[in-house]
Amino acid sequence: MNRWHTDYLPHPLYRPARRFVPPLADWPDQAGYDALLDRARAAGAPLPAGLRFVCELEPGAYYEMHIGATGEVPTRARNWHDWFNALAWLAWPRAKAALNRRHVRAIAR
């Protein structure tokens, strides 16, 4: 079921990301994902400088390698997994960046 809703946001798990999520009537598009990052950066979130969620991007390399090399996170439209990944980047940017670096090192080996 891909119906957009934010019923999950009151759960304590989402507290770290909740402040970055504006009321959305439907799934975010590219401008919506850009606005999420702008909002998080304006609030002082320690996001990597080049981080960007890029809708419908088909990376030429492994997913994690592409993120590590470009800062672009391939993000599928109307996809819960990718939406929650974006929230995780907003809520725990240092942890996500560290995990990405570990993935890049492991794949390179």
CA distance 12 to 79: 22
Taking a C-beta distance cutoff of 8 angstroms, is the pair 37, 51 a contact? yes
Question: How many Å apart are CA 34 and CA 53, to the nearest integer?
Answer: 7
Confidence of residue 95 (pLDDT cuts 50, 70, 90): very high
18 pLDDT higher than 70: yes
- Give mean pLDDT, residues 3-22: 91
DSSP label at 72? E
Is the confidence at residue 1, as pLDDT, over 80?
no
Say what the pTM is. 0.91
Confidence of residue 101 (pLDDT cuts 50, 70, 90): very high
Give residues with Cβ within 8 angstroms of 85, minimum separation 6: 73, 75
CA 109 from chain centre, in angstroms, equals 26
Q: What is the pLDDT of residue 64?
A: 93
